[in-house]
Amino acid sequence: MTLELLEGHPVHRLASRYYDRDLRIQPVRHDPLYASTLLRSPTHPPLAVGETIADLSGPVFGHLKPGPLDNDLIGNFASGGLALGERIIIHGTVQDQNGRPVPETLIEIWQANAGGRYRHVRDGYLAPLDPNFSGCGRCLTDRDGRYTFKTIRPGPYPFKNGGCAWRPSHIHFSVFGATFTQRLVTQAYFEGDPLIPLCPIANTIKDPRALRTLVATLDMSAAIEFDALAYRFDIVLRGRHATFFENRTEGV
């Protein structure tokens, strides 16, 4: 522990420093290219609401140990065969602001199938559902903060934005803390996808460096021979180099 002065008052700090988020890299809330923001974007500055004892102590998030196929989206919904599409591995680490691993963290993912369709009652895209693919999986990070999923590369899909707007291929990530209120949500795009610079949603993040934190990079060292390519997506929970999280845009 070290003793430092904060606004004239002595406070104890851990040896590791806390790095504030750079608010300049946050996405714009009102963007004419993303039609939905014209009606839904807030008109007042965001408020940072402090955590209370109720947030930190309960309800406590409890979970059963993931099963052997929970992180295998190719096989965890299979009934008459395996999921169809380009087989991939997506893996990485969950780290704190100083690069230290965060173990025993529950990660959930969900995604569209290879044709770009979600298994959801409100998804009316004309691509067919895959009867052997649910698009959902989960796993716990290991002692070194590492996670791995085996899945299908999701297909792009169109969305209503005026004109011919398409979402790039992406996988949604949910990272849980110790309680229900400690949940962060983000999404990973894929390196080299030509739709990323054309996507109105992705490009509400104007800083190219910040957008790159949402891009999974090709990792041939983790590819499986004659089976699957691999992509690496590391998640930084907070600090100046934090991954952008959709539900944590206020920068705290």
Residue 101: give its domain's CATH number: 2.60.130.10
Instruction: Tell me if residue 91 is catalytic.
Output: no
Of 21, 34, 91, 118, which one is the catalytic site residue? Answer: 118
Of 34, 87, 138, 157, which one is the catalytic site residue? Answer: 157
Q: What does the pLDDT look like over 110-160, one tens digit per residue?
A: 999 999 999 999 999 999 999 999 999 999 999 999 999 999 999 999 999
Q: Which residue has the tokens 């899909």?
A: 157
Count of domains for the chain: 1
Q: What does the pLDDT look like over 28-78, one tens digit per residue?
A: 778 888 888 877 788 887 777 777 777 667 666 666 789 999 999 999 999
Instruction: Tell me if residue 118 is catalytic.
Output: yes
Q: Domain range spanning residue 211?
A: 2-41+59-236
Of 91, 153, 167, 238, which one is the catalytic site residue? Answer: 167
The answer to whether 159 and 167 are in contact (CB under 8 A) is yes
Domain-embedded: residue 251: no
Is pLDDT of 7 > 60?
no
Closest by CA position to 107, among listed 9, 185, 211, 208? 185
Domain-embedded: residue 245: no
Q: What are phi and psi of 202, to 5 degrees?
A: -60, -35
Domain-embedded: residue 250: no
Instruction: Tell me if residue 157 is catalytic.
Output: yes
Domain-embedded: residue 49: no
Q: Rounded distance, CA 19 to CA 11, Å?
A: 17
Half-sphere exposure of 237 (CA within 13 A, CB side): 21
Instruction: Tell me if residue 44 is catalytic.
Output: no
Residue at 216: amino acid letter? A
Instruction: Tell me the pTM.
Output: 0.84
